[in-house]
């Protein structure tokens, strides 16, 4: 169970202070929770605060009742927090196999590593010895990123827009990957997404708008409200002038 | 051979004991042991220290080891090794120098290797440099490599210096004939107050000759590195050089690539990049449970692999 208590985050942008998150309090214990809302609403910041990449200006984070607010990224990883980046990182010389092995935290055989790749829909033989470098496409990197989360299989998995940068063809198989993930990972999954099909899988949908929770409830409760305010995109893109 | 010499042999030539095939082991400035085969002959030079290695035309799938080890503090070893590789060969040559200096005097190895590679021959040349020891004397290595590739020859040179050498100046000069190819892969890591200078000069003289010079290096602490790569395109040819360096702490790296086209059909490219480890790379590995130091080590290990 994850508890966020009065999380605030203020950033300095171009010399002026900007409140990114304004007093967020949430208790999350559902299996699959989706966070959505307009760009710039603070979703990625919130996920980074949970993973320990960003320190909140104030507030408290509890994981299964334990205060992890002041733990480092590494310590949180050991406590069971996994975090899939929105833009996966490239490494010269580190292979897909190396990365999955590091994620699993133990010696893996090639066939075990391949198993994780197969689960994200990759032909493992073609990829396991490839370097995680610029020769891989955005979609391939995204899948490998998800495979590292599978290999960790911890009690809390965070995904920041797994669909971003994936083409339409890859997207439908990504949905399958997430359906599969729901079965494989026995902990809590928190996923930032704008995609209806992913939101439709969620047990709970939280909408963040301008740093505040503007809606929170089951998908049956929340999704219709997103759809009914002047077309499906109006609410999701209200900060951007509706360019979806 | 004692334990230290055996350790040096393992580090530089990956040898646990006496290798198969041809070899020449030089220890503390003198011949330790040697073996020749039907196709590979090794002859001690009469006029200066060193050996001539003569590989018969048509020799295929043979390898030879020529490690040099120094465990005596204060020794200055100078050696000339000349390789004469016949036509249509396919051979692997593993050289390397290991120094273990426990004393307070400078130990030094200057190796001058010349390769004459015959028509359509294929050579893989692997060179490792390593030094250790808890003395205060410096470990110095200045390898010089001179390469001459005849028509259609192919040579791949892998040179690695990962640890312990306080000062190194490595010069490599190559002349590449028609249809011949030279690939150079350098891996370098310096730490402490070490200094390393690399200087590659490749003359692409032949029609359809080509070269690819790739250097990856890591400079730690207050070490200094200078990388110079000059490719002269004197004919219809293709040349590429690439220097990619990670800089850490108080280190300094200079990359000075130069390409010179003396023919309108020469196609030459150079790339050079120097930068610190990206913060997001560290963050990613830390989210997998590694500490910052472990993450750094993984990134460097991968980069130099």
Residue B263 located in a structural domain? yes
Q: Which domains does chain A have, with CATH numbers?
A: 2-227 (3.40.50.300)
- For position B264, what pLDDT does the model report? 97
Q: What is the pLDDT of residues A77-102, one digit of tens each?
A: 999 999 999 999 999 989 999 999 99
Specify whether B14 is located in the same domain as B110: yes
Q: Is B22 a domain residue?
A: yes
Residue B46 sits in the same domain as residue B117? yes
CB contact under 8 A, A74 and B286: yes
Structural contact between residues B149 and B174, judged by C-beta atoms closer than 8 angstroms: yes
Structure tokens at A114: 């391949």
Q: For chain B, how many structural domains are there in total? A: 2
pTM value is 0.84
Average pLDDT over residues B81-110: 88
Residues B101 and B38 in one domain: yes
Q: Closest CB to B302: pick one of A82, A89, A92.
A: A92
Residue B280: list chain A partners with CB under 8 A.
Answer: 85, 89
Minimal CA separation from A224 to chain B, in Å: 35
With H, G, I as helix, E, B as strand and everything else as coil, classify residue B169: strand
One domain, residues B10 and B137: yes
pLDDT digits (tens, 9 = 90+) for B274-285: 999 999 999 999
More confident: A172 or A244: A172
Q: Which residues of A touch B (CB under 8 A)?
A: 51, 53, 72-74, 77-78, 81-83, 85, 88-89, 91-95, 98-99, 102-103, 105, 148, 152
Q: Does some domain include residue B147? A: no
Q: What is the DSSP letter of A131?
A: B
- DSSP-derived letter for residue B264 is T
- A73–B283 CB contact, under 8 Å: yes
CA distance A197 to chain B (A): 27
Residue B132 sits in the same domain as residue B180:
no
Mean pLDDT of A143-162: 93
On the question of pLDDT at A229 being above 90, the answer is: no
> In this structure, is residue B23 part of a structural domain?
yes
Q: With respect to residue B59, please indicate whether it lies within any of the assigned structural domains.
A: yes
Instruction: Please give the structure tokens belonging to residue B290.
Output: 């590694």
pLDDT-wise least confident of A49-63, A172-186, B151-165: A172-186
Residues of A in contact with B284 (CB under 8 A): 85, 88-89
* φ/ψ (deg, to 5) at B175: -125, 125
SS3 of residue B87 by DSSP = coil
Q: Tell me if residue A22 falls in helix, strand or coil.
A: strand
> Do residues B177 and B305 share a domain?
yes
The answer to whether the Cβ–Cβ distance between A94 and B299 falls below 8 Å is yes
Q: Are residues B120 and B250 in the same domain?
A: no
B66 and B182 together in one domain: no
Contacts of B281 in chain A (CB under 8 A): 89, 91
pLDDT band (50, 70, 90) for residue A124: confident
- Name the closest residue on chain B to residue A54, using Cα atoms: B283
On whether residue B152 sits in a domain, the answer given is: no
Report chain B residues whose CB lies below 8 A from the CB of A150. none
**Whole domain around residue B109: which residue ranges?**
1-142
Question: What would the two tokens of residue A131 be?
Answer: 């370097």
**Which residue of chain B is at minimal alpha-carbon distance from A75?**
B289
**How many residues appear in chain B?**
305
Q: Which of B26-35, B58-67, B175-184 has the highest mean pLDDT?
A: B175-184
Q: Which residue has the tokens 């390593």?
A: B130
State how far residue A241 is from chain B, nearest Cα, in angstroms: 31
Tens digit of each residue's pLDDT (9 = 90 or more) over B9-33:
777 777 666 677 899 988 888 888 8
Assess if residue B156 is contained within a domain.
no
Distance between CA atoms of B32 and B69, rounded to whole angstroms?
10
Q: How many CB pairs under 8 A join A and B?
A: 57
Eight-class DSSP state of A89: P
Residue A244 confidence (pLDDT): 41
Question: What is the arithmetic mean of pLDDT over B258-269?
Answer: 97
- The verdict on B171 and B299 lying in the same domain is yes
The whole-number average pLDDT for the span A208-231 is 85
CA-wise closest residue to A99 among A74, A130, A120, A69: A130
**Banded pLDDT at A168 (limits 50, 70, 90):** low
pLDDT above 60: residue A236: no
Q: Which residues of B touch A72 (CB under 8 A)?
A: 286
Give the pLDDT band (50/70/90) at residue A238. very low
Q: Per DSSP, what are the bridge partners of residue A58?
A: A8
pLDDT for residue B72: 82
Q: Give the mean model confidence (pLDDT) for residues A204-227.
A: 93
| Helices and strands in chain B: count of H runs, count of E runs | 3, 20
Query: Do residue B113 and residue B231 come from a single domain?
Result: no
CB atoms near residue B60 (< 10 Å): 11
* pLDDT number for residue A57: 96
Task: Give alpha helix (H) positions in chain B.
Answer: 3-13, 279-287, 292-304
What ipTM does this complex have?
Answer: 0.90
Task: Scan residues 258-287 of B and list those with Cβ closer than 8 Å to A.
Answer: 278, 280-281, 283-287
B157 located within any domain = no
Q: Are residues B208 and B128 in the same domain?
A: no
B106-152 pLDDT, tens digit each: 888 888 999 999 999 999 999 888 887 766 677 888 899 999 999 99
- What is the predicted pLDDT for the residue at B163? 75
Q: Which residue spans within B50-166 are E strands per DSSP?
A: 50-55, 60-70, 76-85, 90-100, 107-117, 122-132, 139-141, 144-149, 154-163
Same structural domain for residues B22 and B132? yes
């Amino acid at each position: 169970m994850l508890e966020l208590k009065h999380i605030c985050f203020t950033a300095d942008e171009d010399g002026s202070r900007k409140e990114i998150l304004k007093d967020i309090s949430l208790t999350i214990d559902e299996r699959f929770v989706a966070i959505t809302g307009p760009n710039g609403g603070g979703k990625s910041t919130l996920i980074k605060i949970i993973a320990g990449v960003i320190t909140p200006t104030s507030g408290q984070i509890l994981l299964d009742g334990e205060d992890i607010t002041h733990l480092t990224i590494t310590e949180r990883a050991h406590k069971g927090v996994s975090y899939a980046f929105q833009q996966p990182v490239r490494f010269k010389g580190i292979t897909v196999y190396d990365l999955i092995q590091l994620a699993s935290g133990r010696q893996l055989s090639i066939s075990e590593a391949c198993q994780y790749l197969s689960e994200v829909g990759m032909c493992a033989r073609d990829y396991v010895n490839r370097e995680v470098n610029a020769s891989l496409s955005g979609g391939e990197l995204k899948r490998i990123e998800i495979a590292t989360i599978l290999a960790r299989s911890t009690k809390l998995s965070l995904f920041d827009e797994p669909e971003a940068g994936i083409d339409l063809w890859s997207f439908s198989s990504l949905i399958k990957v997430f359906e599969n993930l729901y079965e494989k990972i026995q902990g809590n999954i928190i996923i930032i997404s704008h995609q209806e099909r992913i939101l439709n899988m969620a047990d709970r949908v939280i909408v963040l708008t301008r740093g505040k929770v503007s809606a929170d409830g089951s998908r049956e409760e929340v999704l219709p409200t997103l759809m009914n305010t002047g077309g499906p995109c109006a609410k999701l893109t209200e900060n951007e002038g509706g360019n979806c | 051979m004692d334990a230290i010499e055996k350790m040096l042999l393992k580090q530089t030539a990956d040898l646990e004991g006496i290798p198969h095939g041809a070899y020449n082991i030089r220890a503390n400035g003198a011949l330790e042991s040697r073996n020749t085969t039907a196709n590979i002959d090794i002859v001690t030079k009469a006029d200066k220290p060193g050996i001539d290695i003569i590989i018969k035309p048509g020799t295929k799938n043979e390898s030879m080891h020529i490690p040099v080890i120094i465990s005596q503090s204060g020794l200055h070893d100078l050696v000339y090794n000349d390789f004469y590789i016949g036509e249509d060969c396919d051979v692997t040559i593993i050289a390397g120098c290991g120094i273990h200096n426990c004393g307070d005097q400078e130990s030094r190895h200057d190796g001058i290797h010349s390769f004459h590679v015959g028509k359509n021959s294929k050579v893989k040349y692997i060179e490792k440099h390593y030094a250790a020891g808890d003395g205060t004397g410096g470990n110095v290595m200045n390898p010089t490599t001179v390469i001459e590739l005849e028509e259609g020859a192919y040579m791949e040179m892998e040179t690695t210096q990962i640890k312990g050498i306080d000062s190194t100046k490595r010069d490599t000069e190559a002349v590449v004939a028609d249809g011949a190819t030279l690939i150079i892969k350098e891996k370098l890591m310096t730490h402490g107050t070490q200094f390393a200078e690399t200087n590659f000069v490749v003359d692409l003289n032949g029609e359809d000759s080509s070269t690819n010079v790739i250097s990856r290096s890591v400079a730690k602490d207050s070490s200094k590195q200078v990388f110079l790569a000059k490719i002269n395109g004197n004919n219809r040819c293709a040349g590429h050089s690439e220097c990619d360096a990670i800089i850490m702490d108080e280190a300094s790296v200079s990359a000075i690539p130069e390409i010179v086209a003396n023919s309108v059909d020469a196609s030459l490219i150079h790339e050079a990049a120097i930068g610190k480890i990206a913060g997001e790379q560290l963050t990613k590995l830390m989210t997998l449970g590694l500490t910052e130091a472990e993450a750094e080590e993984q990134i460097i290990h991968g980069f130099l692999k």
